[in-house]
Structure 1
Amino acid sequence: MNVLAFFPSRNFKNLGLNQGLRIRLDLATALHCPGCRRQISASIRNAAQPVDSPEFVSIVDRPSVLVRAGRKKHGPGLIILALIPITAFALGTWQVQRLNWKTGLIAKFEDRLVRPPLPLPPKVDPEAIHDFDYRRIYAKGQFCHDKEMLIGPRIQEGKDGFLVITPLERPDSHSSVLVNRGWIDKKFKDQNLRDPELGCPQGEVVVEGLLREPFKKNMFTPDNTPEQGKFYFPDVKQMAELAGSQPVWIEETMKILAPDLLASWERESKGIPIGRAPEVNLKNNHAQYIFTWYALSLATSVMLWMVVRKPPPDIARRVRQSQEWS
């Protein structure tokens, strides 16, 4: 058996399974023979080595290569980070302007509330209502309960109910206006269940309330379906056409003193609409928005300064590498 015939290849992957096993067994048997071991050792010593090749270049003799380690230079992320504090500061400044506008608007409405009520003129110009928004007025007439409309659901103190909208027929103008009489519990939706005298008053009444501008529907509120008698928001123009009245909206008011508070509890149990308080109920959260946007601008500015003040590491080192490493 010539062991050297098999040894130089040193690769059995391309051989068949049976042939490879047979060669391995022959080599194992040959290693137990002293003569074979000497012959194999001599073959290894006499075999050609890579260093004997004239084209061989030692790793020590190879030229050094410049390698850069560390993060890359700032890219689009730094631009985005720089835009955040600028945008937040601009939004905070815009909220300052909104705060000044809202504060002035509330002050104007509160000034109108302290004035004595005016009699509602026979004919009201819808274009002039804007100049009298939140103005206290009073009107005489008779409620048309057969044209009553309920807006809801409306939650008050955790209870579900409706806003009662009743046209007020005014004999002096031969026309009517819409009056928001207030809130009732949903169990008094049927007029027959309410107090007969105050729940659905008959005859001439005097209504004192606030003249209000038409409301705007938000994107989350469903559309009214008047053919089914369902109203989700006060569409003054639509409801006025259904009732045959002027597009004028009056919100009946109630005092908020202790005796009137007790009276409101009695009204709720009898199905009598509870009117609103004579006060401005506009939301004014712009101061919170100002703090939020300016705080965000300051925080992101500090982050930007921390990133920019220290340039990213750009360490260069020279190494010698073999071609087989690449």
Structure 2
Amino acid sequence: MSIVDNPPDLVRAGKRHGPGLIILALIPLTAFGLGTWQVQRLDWKSKLIAKFEDRLVREPLPLPPHIDPQAISEFDYRRIYATGRFRHDQEMLIGPRMHDGKDGYLVITPLERGGKGTTVLVNRGWIPKKFKKQESRPDGLPQDVVTVEGLLREPWKKNMFTPENSPETKEFYFPDVAQMAKLTCSQAVWVEETMDADLLKAWDREARGIPIGRPAEVNLRNNHAQYIFTWYALAAATSVMLWMVVKKPPADISRRVRQNKDWS
């Protein structure tokens, strides 16, 4: 019997690599690019925090009678002080806001400083939910002239998931500085009152419904180092996977001849 009488079976093995290889090759490139972008973001955020911390260590400045809203960004996190009377009749509560796992509100009160058009908005701090009504917290409503020391801050940016404020019903979910200033005939200036980090003092204020001010510190999130590690690790892992796929010998060559070994 000849080979003509017993021809070999021709079997197609298929392509060695498909479109999945292209996708696999794009993953490490994309991850490496995102990791490099996070390196730039880390440098930017570190310099920004250093700039704000430098402002915190300086002596507080008296708040001018009139402030240009466009210049506030140049004084963000600058310590200031202002003297006047709180307009408790125009108080606004922003909430719900959590503090140490407890529900409550931020108390926003205009500070009237005597001259016309010199009123500014002061974020006095957090109070528990049970003290929502002013009658329940007489100790937290000073009537005399007070001097407020705090941080001059840029207006907050609204989160896309935060509901819109309802000034008509006095329901505020985020501090819209321009809106609140118009409602209270104040300047669009936002001051966050500060206090020393004293746990006993904070407990006493919480029990009496006196707003707990924020500490004088920079509270910007800086997680870019974690993102850098994550993206570069993903780039390295997928690069190894890509190399293993490329170097792996194919199960068949493009065409394999299977011949009957019984022919003679």
Query: How do residues 159-174 of structure 1 correspond to structure 2 at under 5 angstroms?
Result: 159-174=102-117
Structure 1 residue 181 displacement after superposition: 0.2
Q: Which amino acid aligns with 1:211?
A: L
1:146 and 2:89 aligned: yes
1:294 and 2:232 aligned: yes
Larger Rg belongs to: 1
For 2:201 and 2:19, locate their aligned partners in 1 and report how far apart those are by CA, in whole Å.
66
SS in 2 for 1:175: coil
SS in 1 for 2:119: strand
In the other structure, the counterpart of 1:14 is none
Structure-1-length-normalised TM-score: 0.76
For 2:247 and 2:208, locate their aligned partners in 1 and report how far apart those are by CA, in whole Å.
72
CA deviations on 1:86-106 (whole Å, 9 max, x unpaired) are 000000000000000000000
Q: Which amino acid aligns with 2:12?
A: R
1:304 and 2:245 aligned: no
Q: Which amino acid aligns with 1:167?
A: P
Q: Which amino acid aligns with 1:66?
A: L
The answer to whether the Cα contact below 8 Å between 2:120 and 2:186 also exists between their aligned partners in 1 is: yes
In the other structure, the counterpart of 1:209 is 150
In the other structure, the counterpart of 2:118 is 175
In the other structure, the counterpart of 1:64 is 8
For 2:214 and 2:116, locate their aligned partners in 1 and report how far apart those are by CA, in whole Å.
26
SS in 2 for 1:152: strand
Query: How do residues 128-277 of structure 1 correspond to structure 2 at under 5 angstroms?
Result: 128-194=71-137, 196=138, 198-256=139-197, 260-277=198-215
Which protein, 1 or 2, shows the higher relative CO under an 8 Å CA cutoff with sep ≥ 6?
2
For 1:64 and 1:108, locate their aligned partners in 2 and report how far apart those are by CA, in whole Å.
78
SS in 2 for 1:137: strand
Query: How do residues 273-284 of structure 1 correspond to structure 2 at under 5 angstroms?
Result: 273-284=211-222
- Where structure 1 has 5 or more consecutive residues not aligned to the other structure, the ranges are 1-58, 321-326
For 1:212 and 1:311, locate their aligned partners in 2 and report how far apart those are by CA, in whole Å.
62
The answer to whether the Cα contact below 8 Å between 1:72 and 1:312 also exists between their aligned partners in 2 is: no
Structure 1 residue 311 displacement after superposition: 3.9
Q: Which amino acid aligns with 2:257?
A: R
| Identical pairs, percent | 73
Q: Which amino acid aligns with 1:292?
A: T
Structure 1 residue 75 displacement after superposition: 1.6
Structure-2-length-normalised TM-score: 0.93
For 2:127 and 2:213, locate their aligned partners in 1 and report how far apart those are by CA, in whole Å.
9
- Where structure 2 has 5 or more consecutive residues not aligned to the other structure, the ranges are none
For 1:173 and 1:281, locate their aligned partners in 2 and report how far apart those are by CA, in whole Å.
33
Structure 1 residue 264 displacement after superposition: 1.3
